[in-house]
């Protein structure tokens, strides 16, 4: 797809990647890393809401949550809507992403400003390895498996995530596009099934990602994540519930209904 850019408002080269923020004609403000779209104001809510609330609603009582990556703060701003969470750790490798997001995407600063949130600039795998049996939920909001995010798609990484989770813990990770990365998805799912009780792939519609689709790999040490253990309307305030534009309790289950060519991987 092509997006008409009206103005480049920020560009910088961090230790890890090129960071750009642009104003576009039809998709609002857009964040790119190494030239790859990470989010736009027009459609970011679909991906962010699904990773946040599929994970939270698949756990009966999440108290401690970790986000690996996610330096733009978009998922973080959804997690803090849950009043029952006691601690949230955001572990982002690149402080440059956090700084750019805080300045150019202030709508997500609610997450950074919440007193339950601790921001750590570190390698995500190393951070998790130091916190065994600690997190109820781990969300891996990574870019594509090239450059800094490559290690977050390894079998070894998911073994670290498993150890970092408490009993009945939930892992939700950016799961790539089923039209382009079926081999990668199949390989990771197969290996994760050796460790987790349940491994599923949920599909998300988002126009500015390749093929207009992205997935999430959902791994559970407890019950199947296909049916929410808690309804979102039982958790959020009316104001926050009304602010959601994509996630619903019905879509929580519906996102796991897949085309035959990928559903067979998860049977």
Phi (first) and psi of residue 117, to 5 degrees: -95, 130
The pLDDT mean for the chain works out to 95
Query: For residue 259, what pLDDT band results from cuts at 50, 70 and 90?
Result: very high
The Cα–Cα gap between 26 and 232 comes to 31
Flag whether pLDDT at 146 surpasses 80. Answer: no
Residue 145 pLDDT: 57
- Residues 195-242 have pLDDT tens digits of 999 999 999 999 999 999 999 999 999 999 999 999 999 999 999 999
Residue 155 pLDDT: 83
Q: What is the mean pLDDT of residues 138-153?
A: 68
- Report the share of the chain in percent with pLDDT over 90: 93
Residue 147 pLDDT: 53
> Is 114 one of the catalytic residues?
no
Instruction: Please report the sign of the dihedral spanned by the C-alpha atoms of residue 31, residue 34, residue 37, residue 39.
Output: negative
- Report the share of the chain in percent with pLDDT over 70: 96
Catalytic residue selected from 141, 144, 167, 240: 141
Two structure tokens written together for 73: 């703060």
Flag whether pLDDT at 143 surpasses 80. Answer: no
State the DSSP string of 18-77.
Answer: EEEEEEESSS-EEEEETTEEEEETTTHHHHHHHHHHHHHHTSSS--EEEEEE-TTSHHHH
Q: For residues 137, 142, 146 and 150, what is the CA-based torsion angle, rounded to 10 degrees?
A: -20
């Amino acid at each position: 797809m092509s997006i008409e850019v009206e103005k480049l408002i920020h560009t910088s080269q961090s230790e890890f990647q090129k960071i750009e923020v642009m104003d576009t004609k039809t998709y609002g403000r857009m964040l790119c890393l190494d030239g790859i779209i990470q989010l736009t104001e027009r459609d970011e809510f679909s991906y962010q809401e699904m990773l946040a609330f599929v994970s939270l609603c698949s756990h009966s009582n999440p108290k401690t949550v970790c986000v690996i990556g996610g330096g733009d703060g978009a998922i973080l701003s959804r997690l803090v809507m849950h009043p029952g969470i006691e601690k949230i750790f955001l572990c982002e490798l690149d402080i440059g992403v956090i700084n750019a997001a805080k300045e150019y995407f202030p709508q997500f600063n609610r997450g950074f400003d919440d007193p339950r949130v601790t921001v750590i600039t570190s390698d995500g795998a190393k951070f998790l390895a130091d916190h065994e049996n600690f997190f109820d939920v781990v969300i891996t909001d990574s870019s594509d498996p090239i450059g800094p995010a490559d290690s977050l798609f390894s079998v070894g990484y998911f073994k670290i995530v498993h150890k970092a989770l408490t009993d009945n813990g939930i892992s939700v990770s950016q799961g790539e596009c089923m039209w382009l990365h079926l081999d990668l998805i199949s390989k990771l799912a197969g290996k994760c099934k050796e460790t987790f009780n349940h491994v599923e792939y949920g599909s998300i519609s988002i126009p500015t990602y390749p093929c207009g689709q992205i997935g999430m790999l959902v791994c559970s040490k407890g019950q199947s994540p296909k049916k929410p253990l808690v309804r979102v309307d039982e958790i959020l305030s009316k104001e926050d519930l009304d602010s959601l534009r994509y996630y619903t309790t019905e879509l929580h289950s519906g996102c796991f209904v897949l085309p035959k060519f990928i559903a067979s991987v998860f049977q």
